Amino acid sequence: MLSLPEEKRLVLSTVNFIPDEALRNLSQEFPQFDFRKSASKDEALLLARKAEIIVMLGPSRDVISSATNCKWLQVFTAGVEDYLEIDSVKNNKNLLLTNVSGIHAVPISEHIFALILTLTRGLKTAIMNQEERRWVGLREMGRPKMEVLSDKTMALVGLGSIGLMTTKKAKAFGMKTIGVKRVPAKKPKDPEYSNYVDEIYGNEELANIVSRSDVIVNTLPLTAETLGIFNARIFSKAKKGSIFVNVGRGKTVVEKDLIDALRTGKLAGAGLDVFEEEPLSRDSPLWEMENVIVSPHISGWSAGYFQQGLEIFRENLKRYEKGENLMDLVDKNAGY
């Protein structure tokens, strides 16, 4: 029989990666709460009924549906589309939903440039040849051709924290940056954004923007508006020889249209961390395309991921108790 200390409010964590020591430290700092980590699905279901706050890494419809007393759901991911498919999350106006989108900006922006440079500097071909101990000269380096980023134009489709951090790095390479966001009149969070973003447009200008861009970076969340937004029409407008990078959501791209654009040479290459279906099917043509880098949805991870996530949760717990606005609060209507 599960019991709680008298008058303590329950915080349930279903994230196994969170160390027990971290929960003990939170218990000392917030003695009004009882922090529990479920050891099984059955235990999670029982505890969820009494939980005021639940911390999750991936959505469990059963656990969330059992959490009839939950007031705040903290998730350890950036994407929340799977949670918003659950009625008791999407339609419960009294349930706060927060993510940890703020911790992804640095690792994902670095990953973006790892993908780009692997393509523009011939590193994929070099690594493959290294494995075979083959010295291959410049003429045989394969596609896409060797390029420099200086003076090139990068489109950041999605201008949240990841997009802004990427523009800063792009400026270090001497690139021009164009931001695309749902509401272009709404200023980005970074008050110094104008130092890194040369132009900002709305999603309706996407076709025009890709026609001007040498590198197209997709950091969009998945919403009804962004589903399949990168399709044959958009790729047909892309600047010939441009590079496409997707670290946002796989379903924002019509994958067969992307493959066609790569095969015809409309796109010179692609660096892909997310896909329409994951894991990527073994028979996908993307695996064998010499001008494609396949990265298995790892761009957001780093050695300090969970510690950073816990710091966001800890700060939010302080704000929650004071009735203040929470960090990374999700707008359920917007979908992010």
The pLDDT value given to residue 72: 98
At residue 205, the pLDDT reads 98
Task: Supply angle C-alpha 272, 81, 63, rounded to 5.
Answer: 125
Residue 180 · residue 229 · CB < 8 Å: no
Instruction: Tell me if residue 128 falls in helix, strand or coil.
Output: helix
Positive or negative, the CA dihedral 327, 330, 334, 336 is positive
106 Cα distance to chain centroid? 11
Burial 274-286 (b: 16+ CB within 10 A, else e): bbbeeebeeebeb
The whole-angstrom separation of Cα 54 and Cα 98 is 11
The third-level CATH classification (topology) of the domain covering 9-102+303-322 is: Rossmann fold (3.40.50)
- Rg of the chain's alpha carbons, rounded to an integer? 22
Cα–Cα distance measured from residue 96 to residue 49, given in angstroms and rounded to the nearest whole number: 17
Q: How far apart are CA 141 and CA 305, in angstroms?
A: 36
Classified by CATH at the fold level, domain 104-294 comes out as Rossmann fold (3.40.50)
CA 328 to centroid of chain Cα atoms: 13
Contacts 24+ apart (CB under 8 A), 176-183: 176/151, 176/152, 177/153, 178/153, 178/154, 178/209, 178/212, 178/213, 179/155, 180/155, 180/156, 180/205, 180/206, 180/209, 182/225, 182/334
Start and end residues for every CATH 3.40.50.720 domain found in the chain: 9-102+303-322, 104-294
* pLDDT means over runs of 10, the chain (336 residues): 70 93 96 95 96 95 96 96 95 96 95 97 91 86 83 97 97 98 91 96 97 98 96 98 98 98 97 98 97 97 94 97 97 94
Q: Cis ω on the peptide bond leading into residue 221 (within 30° of 0)?
A: no
* β-bridge mates for residue 18, sequence order: none
Which is it for strands 96-98 and 72-75: parallel, antiparallel or unpaired? parallel
What is the reported pLDDT for 3? Answer: 56
